[in-house]
Amino acid sequence: MRILAVDDDEMILELLSASLGAAGFADLTVASSAAQALEQIAATRIPFDCFLLDIQMPEVDGIELCRAIRRNPVYAAAPIVMITAMSQKSYIDRAFSAGATDYVTKPFDPVELGARIRLASKMVESERALTENRSAVATLRAQLERERFVDLNEPISIPDVDAVIDLQALENYLLQLSRSGLFATSIFAFKIVGIETIYASTSPIDFRYLLTDVAEAVSTALRSHERFVSYAGNGVYVCVAHGRGALDLEVIEGTANLIVEEMALTNSRGVPLKFRLRVGSPVRVGLVRAGRGAVDALYVAIENAEHDAPKVEDGRSGEHWSQFRLA
């Protein structure tokens, strides 16, 4: 696996080289600034498989560099691990917003770092296997359908929607938040009512578009809060929102439904797609659930949404959402 590590501290680069070399990742390129990293990315003939970025660097910081790397289509899905002494929540938030997939706080344990990179390596391998499978598909149409195929239960990536990140990245984000960072954090999930029926009656491409549109509606409904949203599969979107005071989930649910209604979604044949979103009971994380407990709360919220939503439309589909219009 080809790794590019970027840090302005020579000692850290040497530490990374020693730790990763011993863990079996010897193909390490280093850069001491964002500018140098971007030059190396532009010059390389074989793309890098993984990036390790320091946050606090002079001129262009690691978060901006992360954003720049993500803009390159070659690296749209590459693992980007932030390695930094910054443990404040605002830095963690900004890093994940910029597209980071994981976050390691300095001082790091070399053994744990190796394990994290191995996890990233597995992501690269499965992506590579998927790419090889795709090339075997006989016709362009079949290839397109295959690329776009979505298993109903799969927590797929939804790119280019503000504050929407992968479920794995959301887990990593929660694992990194300290107890105080989790204070006043609510976790809850939306479910598309009747998702099984919609899934059975739409093409994979239409289904993927629908998931993206709904992600946009959910993220927009929460836009007055610091938040992250992930698609968890089976029509469920799990949300992590920060803010003092209780969230008014009824209003947020109404707003999301209004946005969906105003999108007037149709499938590629022009047939309207009618459905609504239901929010499940929230899980308030509070001060006692840092680390794995916060991730467990994520799955409790998903279960709540699954449990609370009716399996099919229950007659509220004609509900009037205009009272929830955003200012």
Partner 1 sequence: MERESVPHDTRSMIASRLSALRIRFLDVLETRLNEVEALRDALEAGGLPQAVREDHVRAICFAAHKTVGVAATLGFADLGMLSQRVELAATDHLEHREPPTTPRMVVALTDDMLGEMALILAQAGR
Does residue 293 interact with partner 1 by CB under 8 A? no
Rounded to the nearest whole angstrom, what is the least distance from the CB of residue 217 to partner 1 in the complex?
Answer: 33
Three state DSSP letters for 76-105: CCCCEEEEECCCCHHHHHHHHHCCCCEEEE
Does residue 85 interact with partner 1 by CB under 8 A? yes
CA distance 215 to 218: 5
Rounded to the nearest whole angstrom, what is the least distance from the CB of residue 92 to partner 1 in the complex?
Answer: 16
Does residue 82 interact with partner 1 by CB under 8 A? no
CB nearer to partner 1: pick between 87 and 220: 87
CB nearer to partner 1: pick between 55 and 301: 55
CA distance 79 to 3: 10
CA distance 92 to 304: 27
Rounded to the nearest whole angstrom, what is the least distance from the CB of residue 158 to partner 1 in the complex?
Answer: 25
Contact status, residue 185 vs residue 241, Cβ threshold 8 Å: yes
User: Where does this chain touch partner 1 (CB under 8 A) — which range of 105-113, 157-165, 241-249, 251-259?
Assistant: 105-113
Rounded to the nearest whole angstrom, what is the least distance from the CB of residue 202 to partner 1 in the complex?
Answer: 37
Does residue 56 interact with partner 1 by CB under 8 A? yes
What is the rounded (10 degree) CA torsion for 306, 309, 312, 314? 170
- Single out the residue of 33, 42, 58, 49 nearest to residue 1, CA to CA: 49
Binding-residue pattern over the window 156 to 195 for partner 1, x denoting contact by CB under 8 A: -------------------x--------------------
Contact status, residue 182 vs residue 289, Cβ threshold 8 Å: yes
CB atoms within 10 A of CB 232: 24
CB nearer to partner 1: pick between 84 and 234: 84
Q: Which residues bind partner 1 (CB under 8 A)?
A: 9, 11-12, 14-15, 18-19, 21-24, 56, 85, 106-112, 114-116, 119, 175
